[in-house]
Amino acid sequence: MSSTQQTTQQTSAPETSAPDTAGSDLAVSAANVQKHFGKVRAVDGVDLTVPRGEVMALLGPNGAGKTTFLDMVLGFTRPSSGALEVFGGSPRRAVADGRVGAVLQTGALLEDLTVAQTLRYVAGCHRRHLPVTDVIERAQLGPLASRPVKKCSGGEKQRLRFGLALLTDPELLVLDEPTAGMDVGARAEFWDAMHAEADRGRTVVFATHYLQEAADFADRIVLMRQGRIHTSGTVHELTEGAPRTVSCRWAGSGSPAEVAARLGIALPDDGPAASGDRVAFSVIDGPEASDRLVAALLTEGLGHDVEVERATLDRVFLDLTA
Ligand SMILES: Nc1ncnc2c1ncn2[C@@H]1O[C@H](COP(=O)(O)OP(=O)(O)OP(=O)(O)O)[C@@H](O)[C@H]1O
């Protein structure tokens, strides 16, 4: 997390800030965006568009530039170079107009207020906002409403931040590791609430280290590495060309490695793995090669009980970012 981050950024709209009615089909548009801190190229040439209504997950190892990119989308900091627009205008303008809400990992909450008081207090800073009771319901804050913030757990504070982010009924929600610190049940509840917001047509951009969250919730996953976009696509697209594991009960007379060599199937250096009477081939050349292997195993009677498993998103992530 960069030091520029704050809790929930929805600057009160100045009197002159009428919403941009011209609008744009794109919630976010980045063209060769760079952000350098001295010699550190935190974001190093990102081209990315996020259409309205899309739910996009940003994945990447520590230091990949996710938070820095989101900081720029939220107008906390400006790109060193390149063009970055939110709803066709400057990020700051979109935030000032209440069109962007954010849930970030850190930042001060007023510890002595209750959850409901916090929402009412922040609502009072906005010219237009949803009724606080609606926000309490949408963010599932009912059971916490009268609890002092200082007594809330980390996950409960994140839920409050989510409520604060919803106050201006923003068109774009930016979430930086929103479920960090939540237990499994709280994460499920959080994503249920977020699903409801996405179903209302809100655009959601979130950074996470939980690959399953990205797989379950995002329309598209963008993988960042070293300040750049490494690859992007749906889970299916990202795993399509990934290695398959073909396993079977071995019934051949020769060795599994010889069979793979005869079929021209490339395997990792350590060859097929044996466990009991089963053999597992890690086929790295994609679905055509695994199909060829399966066909040979079955038609030549080399293997029984054949199983094919596609690499998980975790594996793809590890391979891509290694
Ligand atoms: N204000 C800053 N000054 C100097 N370097 C910074 C600053 N903010 C970020 N960086 C550096 O930029 C790089 C990208 O950091 P960033 O926080 O964007 O990564 P990230 O993908 O969000 O990482 P994480 O998953 O750990 O949160 C890192 O090397 C980080 O140390």
- What domains, with CATH codes, occur in the chain? 26-233 (3.40.50.300), 241-321 (3.30.70)
Sign of CA dihedral 215, 216, 222, 226: negative
Distance 137 CA to ligand 1 centre (A): 35
Ligand 1, atom 30, lies closest to the CA of: 63
Task: Please give the distance, rounded to the nearest whole angstrom, from the Cα atom of residue 129 to the centre of ligand 1.
Answer: 33
**CA 227/CA 150 separation, integer angstroms:** 36
* Tens-level pLDDT at each residue, the chain (322 residues): 443 333 343 333 333 333 344 456 899 999 999 999 999 999 999 999 999 999 999 999 999 999 999 999 999 999 999 999 999 999 999 999 989 999 887 767 888 999 999 999 999 988 889 999 999 999 989 999 999 999 998 888 989 999 999 999 999 999 999 888 788 888 888 888 888 888 888 999 999 988 888 988 899 999 999 999 999 999 888 888 788 999 999 998 889 999 999 999 988 777 888 889 899 999 988 888 999 999 999 999 999 999 999 888 888 788 777 6
Is residue 72 within 6 Å of ligand 1 at its C-beta? no
Q: What is the dihedral of CA 150, 151, 152, 157, to 10 degrees?
A: 0
Does ligand 1 have an atom closer than 6 angstroms to the CB of 225?
no
The Å distance, Cα 160 to ligand 1 centre, comes to 25
DSSP for 184-222 reads: HHHHHHHHHHHHHHHHTT-EEEEE-S-HHHHHHH-SEEE
Q: Which atom of ligand 1 is nearest to the CA of 69?
A: 18
ipTM (interface pTM): 0.97
Regarding the beta carbon of 66 and ligand 1, being less than 6 Å apart is answered yes
Nearest atom, ligand 1, residue 37 CA: 4
Distances (CA, A) of 188 to 24, 103, 213: 32, 16, 9
pLDDT of residue 8: 40
Positive or negative CA dihedral for 44, 72, 199, 157? positive
* Per-residue model confidence (pLDDT) at position 247: 95
Stated pTM of the model: 0.80
Which helix (H) or strand (E) segment holds residue 299: the answer is helix 287-299
Residue 176 C-alpha to ligand 1 middle, in angstroms? 13
pLDDT of residue 15: 34
Whether 284 and 243 have beta carbons less than 8 Å apart is answered as yes
- Dist. CA 67 → ligand 1 center (Å): 7
In this predicted structure, what is the pLDDT of residue 20?
41
Give 284-290 contacts, CB < 8 A, sequence gap 24+.
Answer: 284/243, 286/240, 286/241, 286/244, 287/240, 287/241, 287/244, 289/265, 290/244, 290/246
Res 182: pLDDT: 83
pLDDT attached to residue 160: 93
pLDDT for the residue numbered 3: 38
What the block records as the tokens of 212 is: 């399953």
